[in-house]
Amino acid sequence: MHTYSAVLFDLDGTISDSAPGITRSVAHAFERLGMPVPERKQLRVFIGPPLSKTFPEFGVPKERVTEAITFYRELYTTEAKYENELYPGMKDLLKKLKEDGLKLYVATSKPEILAKDILKHFGIDHYFDEIAGATMDYARETKEAVLRYLLDKIGTEDKAVMIGDTVYDVEGANALQIPCIAVTWGFGNREEMIQAGAVSIVDTMDELYQAI
């Protein structure tokens, strides 16, 4: 018996390890801007929050942020999006939850069109009742905005829970009064997620299944 009937999954760092493609695309953007390229390890902070928030934190002038995102996308949308791997056990978890009768959704701040491509590439898109992401024109960009859009679309009759790997997932869920279970295999910080109000922290797929 599950506590929740609707499960809203983040994508990057929760369903799959997207670090290789994202960090390579960010490095490409800095090269195209003619700016020094930070170490690849530092670029992992680009995974999760909107690019428009993170590029300025690395010294990209406000007036060049749109340009930086365009350079990022010229590599990411064509090839780097597939430099990505499902976390071990994720496919089995989705299958099991679906067999249990739960409704599954994706809520990601990655552009929706790319999220759908990636989930299809992994052969898991059919597990989800709806896949919601950001828009390419930045009209819907933050996790809160994506969650609001998704909930408006599906309604709130079901008891929903967010599953994510960063403080942005927890805060986005909090804004809509949805509990968030935080996973530790992604890119976030355990303490930050606890402090932000995650209802539980899980380290394995089995623990996640039990928490749901």
19-82, CATH topology level: DNA polymerase; domain 1 (1.10.150)
User: What amino acid positions are annotated as catalytic residues?
Assistant: 10
Q: Over the stretch 139-171, which tens digit does the pLDDT of each residue have?
A: 899 999 999 999 999 987 779 999 999 999 999
Specify whether the backbone of 26 is left (phi greater than 0), alpha (psi in -120 to 50) or beta: alpha
- Please report the pLDDT score of residue 26 as a whole number: 98
- Please report the pLDDT score of residue 156 as a whole number: 74
| % the chain with pLDDT above 90 | 93
Report domain 6-17+84-211's class: alpha beta
The domain ranges of the chain are 6-17+84-211, 19-82
pTM (two decimals): 0.93
Q: Over the stretch 77-121, which tens digit does the pLDDT of each residue have?
A: 999 999 999 999 999 999 999 999 999 999 999 999 999 999 999
Contacts of 37 (CB under 8 A, 6+ apart): 27, 30, 31
